[in-house]
Amino acid sequence: MATHADQKREAVYPAQPFTVYAFVDLDPATTYKFKIAACSEYTKQCGNWSAEVNGTTLDGVASPPKNLTVNCRYDNISSSSFISITWEHPEKPNGIIQRYNIQLNGVARFKNDMGRVDIDSFGPPSWSVKRNSTRYNQIPPNTNYTIRVHGVTRSRTPGKDAVGNCTAPVTVPDRDSMNMRSWRKIENQGKHLFKLYLPRISERNGPICCYRIYLVKLPPQKTVSDLPPPEEINVYSYHYVHSTPAGGAYIAETFDSDQLLTEVFLGDGESSSGDAMCNKCIGLRPKPAPPLLHLVPEVQTTVASNNVTSTVTTTTSATTSTSTSSASTSSSNSTIGNTFTASTTTASTAIVDTTTAVPAVNATEKTKRQKRDNSSVQKTSVDGPGEPSLSPHDGFLDETANYTGFIEVIVFGSHKDQFLPAYSSYFHPLYGGVEPLGVTAAEASTIKEVIVQLFIALILTLMFLFLALFLVYKYTKRAQEREEVITLRNSFRHLCRSLTGRHQLVAASPPDMPPVPKGDLLQAYLERHRDSDYGFQHEFELLPDRFTDRTTRASEAQENLFKNRYPDIKCYDQTRVRLTLLDGICGSDYINANFVLGYKERKKFICAQGPMENTVCDFWRMIWEQHLELILMLTNLEEYSKTKCAKYWPDKLFGEPKNFGDITVEHVKERTYSDYVVRELRMTRLGERDARTIVQYHFLVWKDFVAPEHPHAILRFIKRVNEAYSLEKGPILVHCSAGVGRTGTLVALDSLLQQLTEEGQVSIFNTVCDLRHQRNFLVQSLKQYIFIYRALMEMAQYGDTEISAPQLKTTVAKLRQRDSGKEKCKMEEDYDKISSVLEDRKSVSVGGGEENRSKNRSESVIPYDRNRVILTPVSGREHSTYINASFIEGYDNTESFIITQDPLEATITDFWRMISEQCISTIVMLSDLNEGPRKFLRYWPDEETDYGHIRVRYIHGESCPYYTRREFCVLNTKTDESGIVKQYQYHGWPTVEGEVPEVTRGLIELVDQTLTNDVETSGSLVVHCSYGSDRSSMFVALSILVQQLRIEKRVDIFTTTKKLRSQRQGMISTFAQYEFLHRAIVNYSDLHKLADDEPVS
C-alpha cells in the first residue's frame, strides 16, 4: 500500500522469488508511505502491516511560470535599451525548481544604409537565473522580442514555456553614424560652394522622417569651440544671418528619407524642402507659453489692448522699408531643441516681406535661454496660425566668413505624433571664399600691440629666470652617492618639477650608455631598484624630451589643433604620416601619427594617438593609404571614467558595416583570449573594387601611465603579433590613447627583444632615445621605463616557457630528462628559478595582527592585504571584516577564485558570511573529515542551521567515483537573498603529509565539472584545504591551465605557477606539486585528444 495525504494506492502482488513491485503514475517530487502485508492464498486473510517506509519520487516537469511580465524600455542615462522580465513560480512545479532558463529572440524590419528594406534577427541568447526576475541589457532598439521562460527541476528536464512579447522603443541613430559625413569647398562658375557627402543612415534604431542640414556662419575671430551644442543653438533666417556680423545658424536643405541625396551642394542658391513625409515632422516649434527657449526676435512688436500690431523696420546701406500688419506675439525665429509640443494659441497671421528687407534686432527684446528637456518631440502644423515658417533657404555664401554646420535627423517615435531629433557634431570650418593672404590695417595694429605685450612679458620672464638660476645653482646639494655637484640644467629641472609637479621639456644631448649583457640584466635591475628606484629615476631624467632638429608646425597649425587629443602630444614634421590632401583643403593631410623604425630598421611602425570622433575618418584613410594590415590597440575605450579612444570598428553583436567617410568597415569575426581580443575586419572604399582584410590585436589589461604587474602578458602579446607579421603586410599601426606611453613601451620592447636574441645584450637607454627622436615622449612614465627593464630581465632569466599542444607530451618528457653531469633535470631547474623569483614585499598587516592571529591555522599562510577577502562589518564585533581568504586571478585575469583555509570552529560563521556576500555557487573541498593532526571540522548541517544571520539548509548529496557532491540552500536573513551552493569534496588525496595524488584523472574530472558550473553561474569559485595553500593552489593552477589549453591550444605551466605564487603564501610550495601539474595537463590533453590541435593566434 502507498499513501500520501488523502491518496491511497493498493496492489495485490503474487508471491515470487524476486519480491519487487513498482507503483506507476505517482505524483512527482512527492513523499509516499509504503507498507506491506503478507496474505494467505488458502484463508484469504492477511497478516499485520509492516512498519511504514518513506519513499520520495523524482522531480518531474514543471508547468509554465505564472504571470510572466515583459517590459522593453529605454534608459536615458546609459542611452541603451533593456528588457525587464518578471514571473511567479509555476502552479505545479512538480519538484524543487533549481533555476529558470530564459531565451530571447528578436526580429526587426527596417531600411538599411543602402535604402533597401532589411530584416535583422537578434539571438537567441539564453541564460539561467535562480530568482523570479531578470534583466537583459544592451538590446537593439526598434525590435520585436519574444521571451520564453521555463523552470528546471532537479531532474534537469526543462519545464513548459511561458511566452511573452514586447517591442523595444525607437531611439535616435548611433552617434557614430551621425558623424559619418565630410564636406569640402569647390568652385563652380566663379562661385564658391560647399560639397557635403551625406551617406544614408541606417534606420535600424527607428524610421527616419526627415534630414535637415544647417549652416552656421561663424562670427569673426570665433571658432567651433565657441558655439553651444547643436541642439541648443538659435536658428534664424538666411537673410538675418547674412545681415549681421554676429552670424548665426540657418536651415539650408531638408530631405525626407526616400529623397535623400548623398552629395549635397550648399551655397548654390537652390533649396530642397522635402515632400509630404518630411513636412509631417518639420514643423517643430517651442512652447509659446511658458517657452522652453525664448528666441532672439527679428521683429519689434507693439501690443495694443485688442489688436496686435507688428512693425518691421529695416535699414540697409541702400534702402529703407517699413511694413505693418496684424501678427501674433510669437517670435519669428526658431530654436532647435529636444522637446517641442503642439501650440494651441490662435492669432492672425503676420505677413513680413523678407525678400529685400532685413529686420533690425532690438537687443532689449531678447530673453534668456533656458535649458531643454531631453524628451520626445510633438508634431505641430507646418503652417499653423501664429507660427513663423522657417523654410530652408540655401543662399549664396559670404566669401569673407567661415562656415560650419551640422545635421539634424528626426525619427518617428514609438507613439503617434511623437518625434525624436538627433544631431551630428559640427563640421570642421571652411572659408566661404578664397583664403585671405594679406593682413588688414586693424589686424596689423592688433599684432603690433600683441608684440609689445609679449616683449614686456619676455623681459620680466628673463629677469625671473636669471634670479631663479642663480639661487638654484648656489644652493644645489651634492649628489648623495657620487658626491658630484648637480648641473645647472638638472637643478633647474628639479626646481620646475617641484614647483609645478609636471614633466618639463628638456632639450639635451643624452649620454651614450653602454649596452647591458644578457647575463648582467638581473644585477643591472637590482642596482637601479635600490633606494626607491633612484637609479631608474636618474636614468629616466636623462632621456631627452625634445630635439633641435625636430619641429611640430603641422600639429600647432590652427586648423589642426582640434585633431590632437592632448595639446602637449604633437607630431614631428620630419616623421609624421602625411595623408592625401583633400581638394586642396589646408590641414586635410594631417593626422597625429609618426613613422617609427624598429630594430635595425627591419620593421616599421606607425605610432598614433587613439582616434577621436572627429578623426576616425582620417584614421581609416591612413590605414587605406598606407596599406596597413595589422593594428595593435593598447587602450580600452574608457578608463577611469574618461574616454581614451573612439570606437572605430563595427559591433560584433549587430554585424552591420559602418561607414567612415568613403570607407566602409565590416566586422568579420573575433576571438577572445585571457588578456587580448583578435578582431578581423574588412574594409572597402567608394570607387575601389578590392576589399582589404585588417586584423586588430586589442590588449585589454594595461591602464594609462602605469605598467602591467606581470611582464609575461605583454611578452606573449608581442610574440603573437610577430607570429602574424610579415614584411608584405606593411607597417604595424600601434596606438593607445595619446600614442606615446604604452605605444612607446611596446615598440621599445619589440626592438630590444630582437636585440637580446641576436646580440645577447640590450641598449635600453639608447633605444628609447632613438624612439623619442622619431615621436615625442615615447615611453612616457618612469613606471613604463622600469617595466622595460623588468620584462627584459625576466626574458633573459626564464626565456620563452610556452608549450604548444602538439609538442606538450614531448616537451614535458624532455624537461624530465637529466643532462649528463647535472644533478637536476630541466624541470627541477625551472622550479628553482620560480622559487628564487624577485618579488616586491607585500603587506600582511591585517591578517598578521594580534587581533586576527587566532583566526589563522598557520602563521606562514596569511593573505596579502592587497587581495584579501573583506567581509561586511558586523555591528558590535571588532575586526569582523577579516577571514583568511584571498582572491586569485583566473585565466581571464578576473577574480575567478577564492582560496581559503579550512574553517575553524570560531570562523565557520565567517566562512558562510563570505559564501553569501560573494554570491558563491561552487565550493571545492580538498580535505577529508578529521584528517590527521589538522583536525578538519564539518562546517555544514545535517538539516538546517543558522550561522549568525546566514541560514544554511542541506538539500541532498550524491557520491561520484572521485568526489562527493552536496547541495545547500544559503539564505541571508537580513536581506532575504538566497542561493543554491554546490560543494564538491575530493577524496583522492593521499593521507601522507606533502604527498600528491598518483592518479590525475580524479582531479581532472573535478576541474571539468567545476568549470562547467562556473560558466553557468556568476561569482568566484571557493577552494579550500587545510591551510589554503598547497592542495588549493594545485587545483586552481590546473583549472587555469585547462582553460588555456582549451582556448589557445598552448600552456605555460612555468608562468602560471609564478603568477599564482605572487598572490598568496604557500602556493605550489614543492617540486612534487609542480611536477604533478605537468603530468596532469599532459593526461588531460591525451584524454581530450588535443595534441593534434594547432595553436591559435
Catalytic residues: 736, 1025
Distance of CA 695 to the CA centre of its chain: 19
CB proximity list for 182: less than 8 A, separation 6 or greater:
196, 197, 582, 617, 661, 662
CA–CA separation, 449 and 957 (whole Å):
89
Phi-psi region of 458 (alpha: psi -120 to 50; beta: other; left: phi over 0): alpha
Number of C-alpha atoms within 13 angstroms, CB side, residue 638?
A: 3
CA–CA separation, 594 and 733 (whole Å):
10
Instruction: Name the residue among 698, 708, 796, 707 with its Cα closest to residue 753.
Output: 796
**Are the beta carbons of 274 and 210 closer than 8 angstroms?**
yes
CA–CA separation, 1004 and 1034 (whole Å):
11
**Phi, psi dihedrals of residue 10, rounded to the nearest 5°:** -120, 150
Q: Which residue stretches of 736-851 are H helix?
A: 741-759, 764-772, 782-798, 808-816, 826-835
Sign of CA dihedral 939, 942, 947, 953: positive
C-alpha cell at 261: 541625396
Cell 527657449, residue located: 293
**Phi, psi dihedrals of residue 625, rounded to the nearest 5°:** -70, -30
C-alpha cell at 171: 531611439
β-sheet bridge partners, residue 885: 900
Instruction: Name the residue among 405, 401, 403 with its Cα closest to residue 436.
Output: 401
CA angle 187, 190, 195 (to 5 degrees): 25
**Are the beta carbons of 283 and 386 closer than 8 angstroms?**
no
At 808 the three-state DSSP class reads helix
DSSP code at position 17: S
CA–CA separation, 103 and 114 (whole Å):
32
Three-state DSSP string of 134-197: EEEEEECCCCEEEEEEEEEECCCCECCCEEEEEECCCCCCCHHHHCCCEEEEEEECCEEEEEEE
C-alpha cell at 392: 530652408
Calculate the CA dihedral of residues 63, 68, 72, 76 and round it to 10 degrees.
-120
Whether the link from the prior residue into 124 is cis, omega within 30° of 0, is yes
**Phi, psi dihedrals of residue 897, rounded to the nearest 5°:** -130, 155
Cell 605550489, residue located: 1068
CA–CA separation, 424 and 683 (whole Å):
24
Q: Is 501 exposed, middle or buried (0-12, 13-18, 19+ CB in 10 A)?
A: exposed
At 166 the three-state DSSP class reads strand
H-helix or E-strand spanning residue 624: helix 616-625
Pairing of strands 663-672, 97-111: unpaired
Which DSSP string corresponds to 994-1015? T---S--HHHHHHHHHHHHHHH
Instruction: Name the residue among 350, 224, 355, 346 with its Cα closest to residue 297.
Output: 350
**Are the beta carbons of 296 and 230 closer than 8 angstroms?**
no
Q: Is 676 exposed, middle or buried (0-12, 13-18, 19+ CB in 10 A)?
A: buried
**Are the beta carbons of 507 and 489 closer than 8 angstroms?**
no
Phi-psi region of 91 (alpha: psi -120 to 50; beta: other; left: phi over 0): alpha
What's the length of the chain?
A: 1097
Count of C-beta atoms within a 10 Å radius of residue 937: 14
